Amino acid sequence: MTIEEYYQEFTQDLIARAGADENFTRSSFVEHMCSTLEDEGFMTGFTQTDYKNTTKGLAVDAWSFNDELACLTLIIGDYRDSGSLETLTKTDIEKAFKRLVRFVESSLTGGFAESLDEAMPVTELAWMFKKSRHEIAQISLILVSNAALSAKVGALPKELVGKFQTNYEIWDLGRIHRANTSGKAREDIWIDFGSRETGALPCLPAYFGDGSMQSYLLVIPGSVLAELYQDYGERLLEQNVRTFLQFRGSINKGMRNTIVNEPHMFFSYNNGLTATAEEVITVEGDRQICKIRNLQIVNGGQTTASIFTAKRKESANLDKVYVQVKLSVVPPEKVEEIVPRISQYSNTQNKVNAADFFSNHPFHLRIEEFSRRLWAPAANGSVQETHWFYERARGQYANQQANLTTAKQKKFLLINPRNQMFTKTDLAKYVLSFEEVPHEVSLGAQKAFAGSSSSPGFVGRIATQWAKDDGKSFNELWFKNTIAKMIFFRQVDKLVFRQDWYGGYKANIVTYTLAKFACMVRTSGKNFDFLRVWNLQTLPDTVEFKLVEIAKIVNDILGNPPPAYTKNVSEWAKRADCWALVKDVPLTLDEGLLEYLADYEQILEREVDGLRTQVIQDSIHTQTYVVNKGARHWQRLREWNQINKKLSPKEIGILDAACSIPRNVPSDKQAPILVAAEKRAIENGFPPEV
């Protein structure tokens, strides 16, 4: 797909999200880009401000603060509403960054924060500069644009802003296009050790022959690891297991004490890092690593964060701190298969199995299968049924169109509209809002998905339920209900933006509004009939009216935090106390809403039917898995068991039948027993095919 073609699709997608509202389209662009930057690991959570002062020539569209890195990220948008792709020139770039710089400089001077309306989201940011500037170690200024960067643009600015260490980034349409059509989970990161003061890193090759995976053992100085974390932050942590680590647990405190008091013992006490890369360039006969492409720390995030934070907060001397690293080079096409295993086998500290975070967990595979198979009813007078496309791994949506003819691509988009594509972090927002934990959603997409020290997040809840009933709850009914919740979320998002009382914090207002609505339905003793929304593919007017009423009340509560949170609405929204206050507001459901509520018995009957259907589907899938593995695979397992003797006589009997596929095929009752036996064998050392 050419960049011009991508521009047209990208624009149409924004318009679809914004409902053809010009002002909302610009805001949607900034929101979309902030979500992209969060997925890429450039920031954690964000607050949109959409602030511009033409008189003073300053502006800022969004911001995010990472307290672990002490990094404040400021976003400015350059959105063009032209019908064709435009060019982002050096002059455009200078003007945009100057607006951000002027905002910082104004915020650092007296009187600016006081001059702003307290209800505006930008005020919170201005007060942060005024009262908490000592907590900011570095500033990242990012320009996002739907224009294409001119080839004439050279190096980006390097000037410090307000004496802060400052980094400049540009995400133009070309960079967006490359990220979304590459099929990769993240943008490439090249680390050049040769250009650093310490030079190339000595290493020991730990692989033999062409058939083995390229692996290395090395020792990395703590100072280098801290520098890498400062430069790349959470982009170094494997995307699906990204956590947000501070000195909370005993392990981190122990690391801190060793770094500060016994740095020479850190290597002996610490287990080191388990890492992967897509490419490694060595010199000196494979004995030194000079470059690494897409280094990802699969296990050792606490170690990395602890070393960095000890240096930043306590000025710890890292000269004697060294960390051992086991580095495996994993080809991009094998990442989904191999990296989860590396994480699972090396990470013993997570309460939730690390594999649960990965995109090839059975939950994600099942939702993907539903999204490709189930047809959503035609909406708004159309006759075209569609799919809600689940992008289990980033780039799937673009990749499925990559080699299509123009006619087939149009057909694909007709069946899979862009505004019906959703991701794992989208799922987390939708589901957790109706789980009545809007304060968790307000933590940001990644924390809502992966969880935090105080919350299991979406992953923890899914993993717990999956273990309880082997995934039977996540059936077609669950999928349809979840899509209905998605429709709720996206329509309320548009509704809130169009209200005359709206002044910011849309993301917080939306999740709190839906949580309050869910709470009202629950306390009424009824259940909302989400299948009605699935069948309509839109919200009824009576539901919309009530949601707007709730949203206004939520807006008032969020905009008036208690004294401890003065001028800090986004932090107030992250607190359970905030949700408790919203939850206790006395509101009742209108008469017109009652027809969309269902009795508990009716919902229970549907859920039981859904479970039965899923049991049948699981049985079919399990038998299919056994047959597709083929006789040779099961013969390998039988040969392995003859030596290791881990299977029971009953399992061996079923295995013997599988060894003669297709002449003999294990029954629907035998297949699950065989799959469970295979899983246990793998845990005991049976090598799965790679």
CA-wise closest residue to 169 among 191, 196, 187, 181: 187
Q: Is the pLDDT of residue 223 over 90?
A: yes
Residue with more model confidence, 621 or 576: 576
Distances (CA, A) of 405 to 58, 376, 419, 669: 46, 25, 21, 44
Question: 463 near 356, Cβ under 8 Å?
Answer: yes
Residue 414 has pLDDT above 70, yes or no: yes
Indicate the domain borders of the chain: 3-181, 190-351, 423-598, 608-683
Which has the closest alpha carbon to 678: 629, 612, 611, 618? Answer: 629
Peptide bond into 331 cis (omega under 30): no
pLDDT tier for residue 23 given thresholds of 50, 70 and 90: low
Least confident of 92-106, 329-343, 440-454: 329-343
Q: Give the model confidence (pLDDT) of 634-652 as tens digits.
A: 999 999 999 998 899 999 9
Task: Give tens-digit pLDDT for 379-404.
Answer: 877 788 999 999 987 778 877 887 78
Residue 251 has pLDDT above 50, yes or no: no
Residue 349 clears pLDDT 60, i.e. is over it? no
Q: What angle do CA 241, 242, 245 make, to 5 degrees?
A: 125
Report the chain's terminal Cα–Cα distance, integer Å: 32
d(CA 509, CA 511): 6
User: What's the pLDDT band for 426 if we cut at 50, 70, 90?
Assistant: very high
What burial class does residue 575 get, using C-beta atoms within 10 Å of its C-beta: 0-12 exposed, 13-18 middle, 19+ buried?
middle
pLDDT value of residue 479: 95
Q: Which residues pair with 168 in a beta bridge?
A: 141
Is a pLDDT exceeding 80 seen at residue 618? no
Q: What is the mean pLDDT of the chain?
A: 86
595-600 contacts at long range (C-beta below 8 A, 24 or more positions apart): 596/528, 596/529, 596/532, 596/540, 596/542, 596/543, 597/521, 597/524, 597/526, 597/527, 597/528, 597/529, 598/526, 598/527, 598/528, 598/529, 599/526, 599/527, 600/525, 600/526, 600/527
Residues 66 and 78: their CA atoms lie apart, in Å, by 24
**Containing H/E element for 625?**
helix 600-644
Q: What is the mean pLDDT of residues 482-508?
A: 93
pLDDT by residue (tens digit) across 498-554? 899 998 899 999 999 999 999 999 999 889 999 999 999 999 999 999 999 999 999
Would you say the C-alpha torsion 648, 653, 656, 662 has a positive or negative sign?
A: negative
Residue 50: strand, helix, or coil:
strand
CATH class of 3-181: alpha beta
Average confidence (pLDDT) over 673-680: 89
Confidence of residue 21 (pLDDT cuts 50, 70, 90): low
Instruction: Name the residue type at position 534.
Output: W
Q: Residue holding tokens 């009795």? A: 599
Average pLDDT for 183-191: 79
Return the minimum-mean-pLDDT range out of 171-185, 186-200, 263-277, 352-366: 352-366
Lowest-confidence pick of 1-15, 306-320, 505-519, 585-599: 1-15
Percent of the residues in the chain that have a pLDDT greater than 90, as a whole number? 44
Over range 1-15, report the average pLDDT: 84
Q: What residue type is 13 in one-letter code?
A: D
pLDDT score recorded for residue 201: 93
- What residues form DSSP beta bridges with 452? 455
Distance CA 184, CA 410 (A): 24
Percent of the chain predicted with pLDDT > 70: 92
Torsion of CA 657, 662, 666, 671, to 10 degrees: 110
Mean pLDDT of all residues in 124-134:
88
Per DSSP, the three-state class of 682 is helix
Ranges of beta strands (E only) in 392-525 are: 421-422
pLDDT at 19: 65
CA–CA distances in Å: residue 20 to residues 310, 385, 651: 49, 22, 60
Is the pLDDT confidence value at 566 over 70? no
